[in-house]
């Protein structure tokens, strides 16, 4: 029984941390423009399909396929700012218009994938370790896939910490979050800051999509639905403003899902995500893992 619990902790934490990465895409844009970008969720699906095409169909190898996929998704993020956010902002549109536009774009990509690749899931190549690749630690089998997920997320979190706390870019993000107009008056190029936040948001979600693809397959599921809800729930648990709290929120959600499967039924996995999201929004809308950050 103890081994089952530990096994569920290992798998739940790794999958949950990936939900947290999807949530980071929500957080980065909320910090700089106070908008929820639903089209950002499609970055996970697009990155997974791009990687699948480059690696499986064009035989470009892991590194080139990964870099190309992430680079294209970054350009996609920049395009979202130029062709969606800026036109709406310049015409006096608000949050509702942006939400509707990004929802429609997300729907477009889902249908584009169906027309291009078909609706059936594609098997993801075992680049992060096959089903038989694992290490045993005290009777617990830890798949190589989960170890690689932990490694990638650890590297990303170190990078994000460095960007947010040790660079002028991070100070610009935080200044724009506190007061966009004042930041512009102080000489901060808000357009560049906004562009970087869009790029960073889509890249992080795209990497999350590639990490989730071995678990959910290369499928439409990565473009919305439960994955999007779980990422958004992770961001809400972090208060929409705390990147590290968002990762913790994702891990908590992954653990909750796994233990509900162990003790109740797998039928309720997605119900748990919706329930947590609604409960936090009602009882503690500021987030559970939203500790105060130091001021600039």
Domains and CATH numbers, the chain: 2-283 (1.10.3470)
Q: In the prediction, which pLDDT does 276 show?
A: 78
Q: Are 231 and 243 in contact (CB under 8 A)?
A: no
Pull the structure tokens for residue 149. 């997920």
pLDDT for 60 beyond 90:
yes
Cα angle 42-28-213, degrees, rounded to a multiple of 5: 35
The whole-number average pLDDT for the span 159-181 is 81
Q: In the prediction, which pLDDT does 294 show?
A: 47
Q: Are 19 and 234 in contact (CB under 8 A)?
A: yes
Q: In the prediction, which pLDDT does 166 show?
A: 85
Q: In the prediction, which pLDDT does 291 show?
A: 65
pLDDT band at 292 (very low <50, low <70, confident <90, very high): low
Pull the structure tokens for residue 250. 């994702």
Q: Using one digit for the tens of pLDDT, what is the confidence trace for 257-277?
A: 888 887 787 777 778 777 877
Q: In the prediction, which pLDDT does 296 show?
A: 42
- Provide DSSP, 83-122: IIIHHHHHTT--HHHHHHHHHHHHHHHHHHHHHHH-SS-B
Q: Rounded to the nearest 10 degrees, how much is the dihedral formed by the CA atoms of 283, 31, 187, 199?
A: 180
pLDDT for 113 beyond 90:
yes
**Rounded Cα–Cα distance for residues 249 and 247 (Å):** 5
Q: Using one digit for the tens of pLDDT, what is the confidence trace for 99-109?
A: 999 999 999 99
Tokens 């994702």: give the residue: 250
pLDDT for 26 beyond 70:
yes
């Amino acid at each position: 029984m103890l081994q089952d619990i530990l096994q569920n902790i290992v798998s739940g934490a790794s999958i949950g941390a990936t939900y947290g990465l999807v949530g980071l895409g929500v957080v980065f844009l909320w910090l700089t423009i106070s908008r929820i970008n639903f089209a950002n969720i499609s970055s996970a699906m697009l990155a997974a399909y791009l990687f699948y095409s480059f690696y499986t169909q064009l035989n470009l190898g892991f590194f080139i396929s990964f870099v190309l996929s992430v680079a294209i998704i970054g350009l996609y993020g920049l395009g979202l700012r130029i062709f969606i956010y800026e036109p709406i902002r310049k015409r006096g549109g608000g949050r509702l218009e942006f939400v509707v536009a990004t929802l429609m774009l997300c729907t477009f990509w889902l249908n584009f994938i169906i027309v291009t690749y078909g609706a059936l899931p594609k098997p993801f190549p075992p680049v992060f370790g096959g089903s038989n690749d694992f290490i045993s630690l005290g009777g617990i089998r830890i798949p190589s896939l989960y170890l690689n997920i932990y490694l990638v997320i650890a590297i990303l979190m170190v990078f994000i910490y460095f960007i947010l706390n040790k660079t002028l870019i991070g100070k610009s993000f935080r200044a724009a979050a506190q007061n966009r107009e004042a930041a512009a008056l102080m000489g901060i190029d808000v357009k560049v800051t906004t562009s970087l936040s869009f790029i960073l948001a889509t890249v992080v979600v795209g990497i999350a999509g590639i990490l989730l693809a071995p678990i959910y397959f290369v499928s439409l599921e990565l473009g919305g639905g439960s994955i999007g809800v779980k990422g958004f729930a992770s961001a809400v648990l972090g208060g929409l403003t705390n990147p590290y709290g968002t990762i913790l929120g994702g891990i908590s959600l992954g653990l909750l899902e796994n233990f509900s499967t162990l003790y109740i039924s797998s039928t309720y996995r997605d119900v748990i995500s919706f329930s947590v999201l609604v409960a936090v929004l009602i009882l503690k809308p500021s987030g559970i893992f939203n500790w105060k950050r130091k001021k600039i």
